[in-house]
Every structure is written in C-alpha cells, then in structure tokens.
Amino acid sequence: MPSVHALWSPGRGLLLWAEHDRPAGTSSRSTLVALSHPFAVSSAQLTALHPGKPTSVTLLLPSRANRPLASAEPVAGANRRAPALRPWSVPALVVDPLELDDLDDAASYGSSVGYFRAVARFAEDLVRRGRVLPTLRRRGDAAEARWRPVLQGVDFVAFDALVAAMPPVGRAEQIAPLTGASPRALGTDALHTLVDAAVRDRLARADPPVDLRGGRGAAGVWLAALQGGAARVELPLGELGVLTDAVAKWDQVADTDVVDGRACFRLAEVGTLRRPAEDDPDDQTGDGTKWQLQFLLRSAADPSLLLSAGQIWSGEANGLVRDPRGLLVAELGRAALVEPMLAPALRRSQPSEYDLTVEEAEHFLTSGATRLIEAGFEAQLPATWDGRRRLGLRLSVRGTPSEQVVARSRVGRDELATFRWTIAVGDDEIGEEELAKLVAAKKPLVRLRGRWISVDADRLRAGLEFLRRDRDARRPTAAELLELVRLTREVPLPVTDVHTEGWVGDVLAGRVQQTLQAVELPPSFRATLRPYQRRGVAWLAFMSALGLGACLADDMGLGKTVQTLALEAVERAAGEQGPTLVLCPMSLVGMWEREAANFAPDLRVLAHHGSARAHGDALATHVAAADLVVTTYATAARDAEGLETVTWRRLVLDEAHAVKNADTATAKAVRRFTAGHRLALTGTPVENRLADLWSVLDLLNPGLLGSRFEFRQRFAAPIERGGDTATAAVLRRLTQPYLLRRVKTDPAIVPELPDKLEIRQEYRLTREQGTLYSAIVDEMMKKIENSQGIKRRGNVLAAITKLKQVCNHPAHLLHDGSPIGQRSGKVNRLEEILAEILASGDRVLCFTQYAEFGHLLVPHLSARLGTEVAFLHGGLAKGTRDAIVDRFQSGDGPRILLLSLKAGGSGLTLTAAGQVLHLDRWWNPAVENQATDRAFRIGQGRTVQVRKFLCPGTIEERIDTLITRKRALAGMVVGEGESWLTELSTDALRGVLTLGEEALDD
C-alpha cells in the first residue's frame, strides 16, 4: 500500500503526498533539475485517499543511484556513501489539518502525518485556553487581521519540543536551490496559521453566538476581519498606521515572558428578595437570589494586590500596575474567547460586572469557571458552592456469601440478593419528600442544607419516578443483578456509588475461585482430581447454583470432560433431578460414554445417534430414564423438534466452537432448547474473530453482550481493526464472571504437564512440483484479477487449495491415481522423518487437512517403511474409529497414525504418541493447537515434539508469517480455514502466492 507523508508549505499550508513501494532503480538524471518522482502516487489516487486540493511541490529528498530513497530505507550506513539531497517533483494535496484524524485504511501513514496532527492539536489547545491575541499583519499598503498564539512559560517549552521533533520529510520543500526552510521558521508559520484558523472556527461555532462586527471606525473594520472568512483590512493609510501602532502594544505584551497581572472573575450573591438563613432546611429553591459576575485584576508583582474593575476605571490603580486599563481590556478579551458568555459584558465602555441569570450562574459554576482556570485566569466561587458534591444514584447490593451459594445448590430468588437504589448528594441521602420539593422548584441551582448544588430538573424528576418504579419491581435473576451492578441498564442520573457484598462482589472482583471451598466429591465418583480441577468443579457448581451460563475454556487436555462429570456426580448426590443434554462432535460420543463409565458409573448415559435412535414418545421415555443424553450437533439439529420438548436440567456444549456461527441451522436449533443451566466446553473461545466469543456467550446468557451488531460496533471493530487494548480490557471485565480459562503455562498447571518442542520442518519442491506451482499461479491470478465479489473469493480459495495440493504431491492435484514415487519433496522428507521416529521406538500422529492425501499416503508409506499405517478419517464408522484409537493407545497397534484434521483434530486422547506432524496447514492456530493437544495433554509423560511442514518461498511459508496476527487476537480477550485470505488485495495476494527461488530442490 502507498506511504503517505505530510509537510508544511508556507503560503499554502499542509500538504500530503505519497509514494509507492520501490521496484528497480530509475534512469540517470541531473542533480539540479526537479524531475518527476518515479514512485509518487498520482493526484487522482491521492484524492481517493483524502479530500484536498491538488497541487504539486518540489521536494529535496535523500537520493542514491539516481533515484529517491524510500522513506523506510536507511539514509546512511557504516560502509556506505551518504545519500545526496536532490530535487523531485511530486503531486500533492492541500488539506485541512483538522481532518487528519479521518484517515483511510488503504494507505500507510508516515510519522510526519502524526507530527502535524500534534501541531494542530497544540494550536487548538492554545485557543481553548485563550492563549491567543488579535494582531494586524501589514505588508506595505495591505494589511490582514490575524489571531496569533501567545507562548509563555510551559507553552514555550512545548513549542521548542515540537520544533526539535519535526521529521525531515515535514520540511522537505525546496525553497531555494538545494535548500529548504528551517524547522523553527516552518513551525512558527504552521502554528500561527493553525491558531488563526482555529479561533475563527471557534467563533463561528460559539453558542451563544459571538459577534465582533458592528463597531465603528478603523477598530470596527479590524474586528470584523478578525471574525469573518476574509482577513483583509482595507483602510486609508493614515487610519491604518494609527491602528497598527495601537495593536502593536498587544504584540509587545504577548512577546514577553512576564505579564503584569491576570484577570479574576468572582461570582457573588449580591442580594435576594428573600434571603433564607444559611441553616434553614426548608429552603430548597433559593428563590430571589441575585447572581453577579465581578471583574478584578490581580497583580503579578504583588499577588496580594487584587484590584476591582471599579478601582481600575476610576484611576485608583494607576501606578500600582502598568497600564491597568489596557491590561484589563486585553485580559477580558482573551477570556471571552474561552467563555463566550462574557462577550456581552465587553460591549460596555467600562465593564465592571455582569448580572447573570440563574441558568448562567449554574453554567459558570459547573463549567465556565473551570475553563477559565485552565486558561490561566482566576475564578472565585461562593463559599456556599460545593462542586465536589454531585447529585446522583447510589446502589447497594447485598448477596449471599459465595460459599453458601454452593452449599445450598440452586439459590432461590428471594435468597439470592437484595438491592436498594437511593439518591444522594455526596454522603447525604435524600428522602422522597425532600426530592419532591427539589423537583417542584424547577431550578438548575438549588440550595440544599445550606449549600448550592446543580440539578437537572427533568433528570431529577425521572430519578424520583425511577426510585418509585424500581421499588415495586420483581426481584432480578443473578444475570440481571450482574448487569444491574455493571450499570449496563439505563438510569436517569449518574451513579456516584456502588456497594456490593457477598457473591456479587466476589464475582465482579474476580476472586470467586479464592473464596470458594473445594466441593466434596461423592464416593461414587472414581477419578482423582488435581487441585485446579477441584477448583474448576467448585466454580461450575457456583455458576450452576446461580443459574448463570458458564464457559469452561481450559486448554485442550486439562480435563474439561472429567470436571463436567464431577459436577454432574456432585449434584446428583445432592438430589438434583432431570436429564442433562450433551452436544459434541461425532468423534466424541464414544469418549463421553467411556469417561462416564470409568469415572461416574452411577450416571445413566443415553447415546442418541445413528439410524436406530428413538423419536417421539420413545425418545421421551428414553430421556426420562437417563441422567446424561449424549448426541451430536448434526443430530441435535435434525431432531430439534423432539429435543426442544424436553426441559433439560443442563445443556452442555462440548467443543462449543461448533456453534461459533450463530447463523447456522445447528446454532439456531440449540438456542431453542430449554435448560436450567448452560455450560460450554471449549479450549478456543476465540478462534478467528471475536464474533466467536459473542456467539458462545450469547447462547449461554442471551443478551449478555448485546445484539451481534452492538457487539461488533462496541468491541469487535475497535479490537480487531485498531488493537484497542482499553476496549479489550472492558470486554475482559465484562466476560470474566462467565468464563474460566486455565492454560498449560499457568504456574499451577506447568508441573503436571510435559514439555513441548515445536520444530519448523522445511523441505523443497521437486522440479515437477515447481512447474505445476508456477502454472497454477499464472492461471489463477488471471481469473482473480478478472472477477469480483463472491466469484473472486471462490477463485482465491480455489487457487490456495490447488497450491496446497501441489505442495503435497502432484498426484493430489491431478487426481489421476498416478504413483507416488519420488515426485514430492514433502513426501520424501516425511519418509525420512518417519524412519527416524520408528528407529527411536516412538509413536507418531500425522495430521492432514485432506482425506484424499491420506488415502494416497497409507499404501505408499506402508510399503516404503515396512510397517502398518492406520488412518482415522470421517468416512469410518464409529466402532472402527474407536478400535483404531484403542489399538494405538494400547501399544499393540500401528505406530504411525494418520488422521484427517476434521475427524481426529479434537476430543481424542492419544498420549501414546510423543511425536506430532502437521503435514499441510489449515492456517488456523486454534485448530492446529487442538490437534497437537491429542498428544500434549495430561497423561503424557514425555516431551512432545511437534513438526510443522512448510516449503520456503511458497504459500506455506508466507502464510505461516501472517497467522501470527491471528494468534494475538485470542490473547487480548481470553486469550475458518483460509477464508480471511480472500480479502487480501490482488497485489498482496500475488505476493503470497508467487513461487520463490528458494522453494525448488536443486
């Protein structure tokens, strides 16, 4: 993608230009004549990236070998000649600096763009703080009214830092032959121009409007030019000279580090028709209070000297401060830019004070005074005002202690928790009668217990109605209580305090696991659980008792199944009744039956699958006689009508990422099932996108994360596109109560697991493979370039599939049944590695994405290695698959087990293998890790070696580097296939697919 740069051009303003990536060098040229930059982006392409006015500019850029260096290239090296600065002409855009926050994702923006964005923000900050003065620029007989920055104190330091940080490309315009402007000259011109634009923009948007026009004489013309779009001042030369001399005095003040004083604004209660006693609790309104804003000037030389505007205008301040009248007028004018409410007072000839309405007084107390103080002024507020005390809602929630929740099993709503809303000011709660008086006052400022507070009458009325309505509402469920405490529901007033006790506080603070005691396992449960597994069972029992959907997201191999069976055994022993429905992939149905028989033999298990499965009344009869009903996701979708008639005690979703797409028929069917508790088991709550996490958690607790659209807007887009860590932290806090994740790197888990060694297994293509590979790229890129939308995506996936097949073996691509022979570099290397593994006495798992490739390999490897090779794939019956797994695990069966990724990549325990080979890559980190975890799991006593095959210079190596981006996503929040590749641009895709020289075997 193009790289975009910014520079400041005196007289034109901010310019953007861009350059493409470099191909080979350019032809020779003169060093003094500016030729066109050979890699510059055209004006048409620039305007497609950013709005602006096309222009051109000559830049002095580091050049070598008669070509300009790219912005990312080093400009000097230890043994290289330093590049020369040479002029190049480039297309550019004149842009509005205020629009630099709206950038296009189709380009890469250099540091210079961020630099001028910082300069623009510095200018806006000066204007916001009133650090500006009006001035008059005169060039001969012409003059312009301008606003200029006032740099004093820390602002001087900030500007110096900006000048020092200016990137070379930001000052690259050629001003004279082979020279550019100095950073300070450019920085000064940029700041003055941006400040003038920002003041005019602020005046145009002021509410209430500020109008500087309408004055008489030369001053009126000047003021009008300061506000409008046209800055030109047209006056007779005599009047222009007088005005220039007068304005120059302000410039002299602005150019000094020390000022003689600063304005002070005092808000006072100057009289009332009915002045209540300070301690009169019956006065709730403050009716009759008169508010006045008084103007004063504090001396910088003697801070104890505070002069009122009356003293200044009467002449009493003369001699105490230099030019007190001029200083007061200048300070009041600067203040009016910060707080437009002051503008009407300045229209008086000798402004001393300004009478305020109640609404204006409330505005000054709550925001105006703060803005003036931030701009360097002084503000004095009444002693009876306490801005720290805000009127708001207070929530108190008292829940059952966490350990008692588990002890009581499912807690009734009345026992769950109590909550209470109140309205308070600071630490003082306000009763309903007192609130009613405040509502009736209809004033933005009211006196409450001797102190002034700001209130919104409409919101206060809504708050009173909210208290009355919420008092009579039904008791919420546990999920509703958690939403309540997180304040995800809308409330009419700001919530100033939330107090929680019991299980609610434990859940929100993430300390439930430390609070819960280990659950006592019944004698009928025959497994010995590790400490972290016992904590997991206690957490599951806690969530079940509260009726909260839970996601047990432990890494594969850490025992999610045995923890679930322990939970079932504990609750059955406590008298819980009703069937639990377990949904899982077909390959795991037998595993659930075996694990239940081994560890919880008292559980009655019904396997509901196959053509002989029950339907209708027969199904209802079988379900009623079972504790655990195990079926597949596909069967559940087909039999949804019968299964949804049952009220399940618990719904367990094993390998829950199977329902990560909420639009599938399976996911829709599962959402229709009724269950008292929902439990998801998955080692990969996020596989590719955060939408996976939404789908699983919304199925467990509907509405928890809002609608899918709301989730995408609030969380998925900021995190996935922008890497927003703050938003990711919010999502972590929101999902934490419902998700328990332990990984194999946890300190409590590491001692119980073996080491894992991952190896990048390289090989080279044969000449036949290389020829086929190049032909496929040429053919498919023509199709991709000439297609759009769904057809383009289909062509991209077809190209990827063909290239992966040719990397496996030519016969896999051609589907011609030709012999394997020595035609594939991958197969040749596989034979060598397998021979070494067999010689060491170890066993190995070989995963492939393609069942067809597996069928090609089995007879070939058996013949070449002289040993049996087993193949587990989706076309086998359940009994056959179970037999293969049992033989391999027993040590009596074949030592090489080939598995298709979909059929054997999850749910199986194959710890007899100490070696795992990934022959071809699906480029999904979560799926690869699941497959590896067939061997790298509890029960494995040896170091597991994991080898991932790839050929340098091919699609395998290039996408291996790209998937690291997918690995980072899961870790931000909790931790298909190749579809994400279809969205790459054609140029990027060509770079991924094209064959490199290093791919071929010599």
Domains (range + CATH), the chain = 1-205 (no CATH), 261-380 (no CATH), 391-512 (no CATH), 519-751 (3.40.50.10810), 756-999 (3.40.50.300)
Q: In what order do the strands lie in the sheet with 428-430?
A: 428-430, 417-425, 391-399, 495-501
Mean pLDDT, range 184-191, rounded to an integer? 91
Residue 338: its pLDDT value, please? 84
Cβ–Cβ under 8 Å, residues 37 and 66: no
For residues 948 and 759, is the Cβ–Cβ distance under 8 A? yes
Structure tokens given for 202: 């602020």
Label residue 840 exposed, middle or buried (CB < 10 Å: 0-12, 13-18, 19+): exposed
Q: Of 931, 935, 892, 897, whose CA–CA distance to 913 is shortest?
A: 935
| Partners of 139 in the β-ladder | 142
For residues 188 and 114, the answer to whether their CB atoms sit within 8 Å is no
pLDDT value at residue 675? 92
State the Cα–Cα distance between residues 918 and 899, nearest whole angstrom.
10
Give pLDDT, residue 503: 67
More confident: 691 or 438: 691
- Angstrom distance (rounded) from CA 587 to CA 226: 78
Highest mean predicted confidence (pLDDT) among 175-189, 392-406, 984-998: 175-189
Please name which of 498, 164, 209 lies closest in space to residue 336, comparing C-alpha atoms.
209
Q: Is the pLDDT of residue 11 over 90?
A: no
The whole-number average pLDDT for the span 513-531 is 84
pLDDT of residue 491: 64
- Chain length of the chain: 1002
Instruction: Answer yes or no: is pLDDT of 470 > 90.
Output: no
Q: Which helix (H) or strand (E) holds 925?
A: helix 925-932
Mean pLDDT for the chain? Answer: 80
pLDDT bracket for residue 525 (50, 70, 90):
very high
For the chain, give percent helix, strand, coil, nearest 5: 45, 20, 35
Query: What residues have CB less than 8 Å from 24, skipping those under 6 apart?
Result: none
pLDDT at 303: 80
Count Cβ atoms within 10 A of the Cβ of residue 997 and give its class: 0-12 exposed, 13-18 middle, 19 or more buried.
Answer: exposed
Question: What is the distance between the alpha carbons of residues 116 and 112, in angstroms, rounded to a whole number?
Answer: 6
- Collapsing DSSP to helix, strand or coil, 937 comes out as coil
Most confident of 287-296, 514-523, 857-866, 874-883: 857-866
Mean pLDDT (whole number) for 712-722: 82
pLDDT tens, residue by residue, 622-650: 999 999 999 999 999 999 999 999 999 99
From 315, 208, 331, select the one nearest 264 (Cα to Cα): 331
CA–CA distance from 372 to each of 46, 296, 325, 488 (Å)?
42, 14, 20, 35
Residue 808's pLDDT band, with cuts at 50, 70 and 90, is very high
pLDDT of residue 999: 67
Residue 603 has a pLDDT of 94
Dist CA 169 CA 352 (whole Å) = 51
The CA dihedral of 83, 86, 91, 96, to the nearest 10 degrees, is 80
Per-residue tokens: 323: 């030019």
The amino acid at residue 420 is R
- Per-residue pLDDT, 457: 66
Does 74 have pLDDT greater than 50? no
- Asked if 40 and 18 touch (Cβ cutoff 8 Å), the reply is yes
Look at residue 795 in the predicted model and tell me its pLDDT: 87
Least reliable range by pLDDT among 356-360, 405-409, 697-701, 750-754: 405-409
Task: Name residue 962's amino acid.
Answer: L
DSSP code for 747: T
Output phi, psi for 918, to 5 deg. Answer: -100, 105
Q: Which of 407-416, 465-474, 865-874 has the lowest mean pLDDT?
A: 407-416
Residue bearing the bigger pLDDT, 573 or 516: 573
List, for residues 967-998, the tens digit of each pLDDT value. Answer: 555 555 554 455 556 667 777 777 777 877 66
Please give the share of the chain, as a percent, with pLDDT higher than 90. Answer: 23
Rounded Cα–Cα distance for residues 348 and 359 (Å): 22
Q: Which residues neighbour 862 within 8 Å (Cβ) at sequence distance 6 or greater?
A: 868, 869
Q: Is the dihedral of CA 346, 348, 353, 356 positive or negative?
A: negative
**What letters, b where the CB count within 10 A reaches 16 and e where it falls short, cover 873-909?**
beebeeeebbebbebbbeeebbbbbbbbbbbbbbbbb
pLDDT of 567: 94
Please report the pLDDT score of residue 975 as a whole number.
44
Asked if pLDDT for residue 522 goes beyond 60, the answer is yes
DSSP letters for 434-498: HHHHHHHH--SEEEETTEEEE--HHHHHHHHHHHHHHHTSPPP-HHHHHHHHTT-S--SS-EEEE
Can you tell me which residue has the tokens 């003021």?
A: 223
Local confidence band at 288 (pLDDT 50, 70, 90 cut-offs)? low
Q: Average pLDDT, stretch 869-889?
A: 91
> In the structure, what pLDDT confidence band is assigned to residue 508 with cuts at 50, 70 and 90?
low
**HSE on the CB side for 19, CA within 13 Å?**
23
**pLDDT tens-place string over residues 677-699:** 999 998 777 766 788 888 898 89
What pLDDT, on the 0 to 100 scale, is given for residue 42?
86
Residue 744 and residue 750 in contact, taking contact as beta carbons nearer than 8 Å: yes
Rounded-to-integer distance, Cα 716 and Cα 713, Å: 6
CB-based contact 953:994 (threshold 8 Å): no
Which residues are 607's β-sheet partners? 630
User: Which of 2, 163, 182, 24 has the alpha carbon at shortest distance from 90?
Assistant: 2
289 pLDDT higher than 50? yes
pLDDT score at 257: 44
Which of 33-42, 388-397, 606-615 tops mean pLDDT?
Answer: 606-615
Nearest CA to 400 among 500, 502, 476? 502
623: left (phi over 0), alpha (psi -120 to 50) or beta: alpha
Model pLDDT, residue 420: 64
Q: For residue 284, is pLDDT > 70?
A: no
93-121 pLDDT tens trace: 998 887 776 665 566 788 888 899 999 99
Alpha helices in 558-615 (DSSP H): 560-573, 589-599
Report whether 577 contacts 627 (CB < 8 A).
Answer: no
Burial of 825 (0-12, 13-18, 19+ CB in 10 A): buried
Query: How is residue 411 annotated by DSSP?
Result: P
The reported pLDDT for the residue numbered 78 is 40
Whether the predicted pLDDT of 29 surpasses 50: no
pLDDT over threshold 60, residue 737: yes
pLDDT-derived band of residue 276, with 50, 70 and 90 as boundaries?
very low
Three-state DSSP at 304 gives coil
Structure tokens at 763: 């090989």
Give the pLDDT confidence score for residue 26 in this predicted structure: 42
Span 324-343, mean pLDDT? 85
- By mean pLDDT, which of 883-887, 918-922, 936-940 is the weakest? 936-940
pLDDT of residue 475: 63
Q: Residue 30's pLDDT is what?
A: 42
- pLDDT for the residue numbered 377: 86
Is the pLDDT at 281 greater than 80? The verdict is no
User: What is the arithmetic mean of pLDDT over 863-889?
Assistant: 91
pLDDT band at 493 (very low <50, low <70, confident <90, very high): low
Rounded to whole angstroms, the Cα distance separating 233 from 484 reads 61
The pair phi, psi for residue 411, each rounded to 5°, is -90, 135
Is the pLDDT reported for residue 564 higher than 60?
yes
Residue among 313, 486, 494 nearest 397 (CA): 486
- Measured distance CA(313)–CA(796) in Å, rounded: 81
